[in-house]
Homo-oligomer: A and B are copies of this chain.
């Protein structure tokens, strides 16, 4: 492979990765919109199988803690989550309300139904894709 080929392959893979991720984002946003919530709020809500400290939410989503504050506000305003206090009184636990838990479950179903990758590839291919992406992500995290 000449260096020009390597450059073109890198460019091609980067573009494909970007497009595939954009499609997944669009699928996600469309599903979230059907429940009247913004994508970031949907991402947080999907984490709330159990009450979770704000700090942990930030770590899980790889975002800054200050950002989670605003998203949690939205979820509270929408009546989908509430903040409680932990034994360590600095910690706030965000939990899904009854209605939030309901939306969370229906949202999860809607997303997997809409998710293009699940329809375009068969079982073996999806597994292969997952394996390759894992390698990429792990190597990127060093």
Interface, chain A (partner B; CB < 8 A):
1, 3, 6-7, 9-14, 16-28, 46, 62, 108-109, 111-112, 115-121, 123, 125-126, 128-130, 132-140
Contact = CB atoms under 8 A, between A and B. Distances in A.
A13 B117 contact: yes
A103 to B, nearest CB: 14
Q: Which 8 A-B pairs have the closest CB atoms?
A: A21-B21, A120-B139, A10-B112, A23-B140, A16-B133, A7-B112, A10-B115, A116-B140
A118 B9 contact: yes
Nearest to A135: B120
A118 B28 CA distance: 28
Contact of A126 (B13, B117, B128, B140): B13
Given A11-B46, A24-B18, A117-B13, A3 B137 contact: no
Given A16-B130, A18-B21, 5 more contacts: A1-B123, A14-B28, A119-B139, A120-B135, A129-B133
Contacts of A117: 10, 13-14, 17, 136
A137 B12 contact: no
Given A116-B136, A117-B136, A139-B120, A17 B6 contact: no
